Amino acid sequence: MFSQTAEYALRAIAHLSMNPSTPQTTRQIAEATQAPMPYLSKVLQAMGRAELIRAQRGLHGGFSLLRSPEQITVYDVIQAVDPIKRITACPLGIRSHSNSLCPLHRRLDQAIALVERQLRETTIAEMIHESATLRPLCAFHAKDGAKDG
């Protein structure tokens, strides 16, 4: 249901959330999240434009969160890189459906609305702290160097 782009963005945000005190380079994020570095670079740029993360140049530079994980939702991250598309008109272009959605497309849009609501209600902090034994999205190196998950 979600694109690879959204997956990489969520992995990157989760990694940055778990390493809040140290900016992370694209290479560090790519290695920790198992995302290809060139593609991840574009994902990070999109999240920067959405004001979820910031880039710091220089010797101790890298990416870090602009807001706390408690203030960033899964919806925010997905919308930054691959927005969820609601059904507002007949996807088949049927003229008689131009003013309202048919029952099928109305139900599909309602399902999308439910998913959207759940993503808006789920913060990155909740996702990360939900399980003490499993880390979201992929295995990460914890701050102490131990491998999670």
Strands (E), 43-128: 53-56, 62-65
> Residues with Cβ < 8 Å from 28, sequence gap 6 or more?
62
Fold of 4-129: Arc Repressor Mutant, subunit A (1.10.10)
118 or 147, which is more confident:
118
Is this structure's pTM higher than 0.85?
no
For the chain, the structural domain boundaries read: 4-129
Span 84-131, pLDDT tens digits: 999 888 888 787 777 788 888 889 999 999 999 999 999 999 988 875
